[in-house]
Amino acid sequence: MISDYADALAEKLAFDRRLARRVRQEVEDHLRDAVAADPAGDTPQAAQRAIAAFGDPQDVARQFAADALAHQSRGAAAAVILVIGGIFVAMKARLGWYALTHWTVSDETRALSGVVGMLDRYAFWLALVLGTAGWVYIIACATPARFHAGCRRESSRIFRLCAAATAMLVAAVVADGVLTALRLGDTAVSASFLVPLLSMTAEIAGAGVVLCRLLGMTRRMAAAAALLEI
Amino acid sequence: MLKGHLDMIVLAALAAGPAHGYAVIEEIKRKSRDAFDLPEGTIYPALHRLEGAGLLASRWVTAESGRRRRVYQLTRRGERALAERRAVWQRFSDAIGGLLDGTRSWKKPA
């Protein structure tokens, strides 16, 4: 009976598997202590009393979900801001390298580079504005005691802001990739390619990290939303 | 009654030293003389939340029974937070106590 209850609670915590494993063990230990302390001893009635005193697993899971989703949202927004900062540094490093090595754009690609560069700047600054807005929104929202419909709406808003920032970030990285390809395409392969290639790899990796975070957030939000049913 | 005070209650229950979830609940019951009708499962989200906030630290230990259990203890930040909340609560309690002591029973006019 105790194991079944612990399993049921762990199942409801599917939005965070590591948390579910830990809580399952803690709860089972708690219930076995409660049964051991019951004057009736290790009986089904004692187990029933221990489970009743512990509370509805759905309600316990909702309390965990509120905090877990808030934590996940903060992590996603922080990742967006950090990666924006990292991409800015990578872009500046690349431009600094071009200046240092007098690596100029050829006349044939200058016009295209100008257009892509403009798109790159707009996408980057838009990503920064949206990412900051997401972060500010998270700070302004208090973490509720239980996951409820309003909490779900707030998480969705934060997700949309982070997703929009990430979309702009990916656009900026793609534009950076095009700009880098245009420069590299005009020159013979040499060791000086290393800085642009490494900085582009860092940008792509950063965008990948943010995308993974957002995917994780989507999965957790969907699993937590199931707690609002019934 | 407990809404908004659960974190302080959990921190206070751990002031005596490290304890696992069940012992925390027993300590709350003992210190409050069973004043709170608290679903026991409520304690665990609070313990996790306080740990996430850096007010508690936890580790697995193996009990004599061979079961693994998670033991929680106050961090320095947790001790400071408890001291602050105690002071705030004391001021609030003194103020309400003063108000209630000076309250006369209200009589309906004839």
What are A150-185's pLDDT values in tens digits? 777 888 888 888 899 999 999 999 999 998 888 887
A63-92 residues touching B, CB cutoff 8 A:
63-64, 66-67, 71
Are A224 and A15 spatial neighbours (Cβ–Cβ below 8 Å)? Answer: yes
DSSP character string of B20-73: EHHHHHHHHHHHHTT-----GGGHHHHHHHHHHTTSEEEEEEE-TTS-EEEEEE
Residue B1 lies in a domain: no
B56-95 residues touching A, CB cutoff 8 A:
67-70
**pTM for this predicted structure:** 0.74
**B44 close to A (CB below 8 A):** yes
* Among candidate residues A30, A149, A2, A10, the one with its CA nearest the CA of residue B43: A30
* Residues B11-27 as b or e (16 or more Cβ within 10 Å = b): bbbbeeeebbbbbbbbb
ipTM, interface predicted TM-score of the complex: 0.79
Q: Rounded to whole angstroms, what are the CA distances from A114 to A32, A111, A175, A195?
A: 69, 5, 11, 21
Give the residue from B3, B36, B44 with the most A CB atoms within 10 Å of its CB, the best one to mutate.
B44
Residue B26 lies in a domain: yes
Q: What is the CATH number of the domain that holds B94?
A: 1.10.10.10
Q: How far apart are CA A145 and CA A30, in angstroms?
A: 22
- Beta strands B19-20 and B56-62 are unpaired
Side-chain half-sphere CA neighbours of A117 within 13 A? 12
Tally the domains of chain B. 1
A119-148 residues touching B, CB cutoff 8 A:
143, 145
- Only one residue has tokens 């309690």, namely B93
Mean pLDDT of A180-193: 80
What are B43-101's pLDDT values in tens digits? 999 999 999 889 999 999 987 778 888 999 999 999 999 999 999 989 998 898 888 87
φ/ψ of B74, rounded to 5, equals: -70, 140
What are A98-125's pLDDT values in tens digits? 888 877 777 777 888 889 889 999 999 9
Q: Would you call B41 and A26 a contact, using CB atoms and an 8 Å cutoff?
A: no
Its domain, for residue B71, covers 6-101
- Tokens describing residue B2: 């407990």
Q: Where are the domains of chain A?
A: 2-55, 64-228
Residue B72 lies in a domain: yes
Contacts of A5 in chain B (CB under 8 A): none
- Only one residue has tokens 């900026």, namely A172
* Residues A149-180 as b or e (16 or more Cβ within 10 Å = b): eebbebbebbbebbbbbbbbbbbbbbbbebbb
Could you tell me which residues are beta bridge partners of residue B71?
A: B20, B59
- Tokens describing residue B89: 């609560």
Q: How confident is the model at residue A137 (pLDDT cuts 50, 70, 90)?
A: confident
- Coil, helix or strand at residue A130: helix
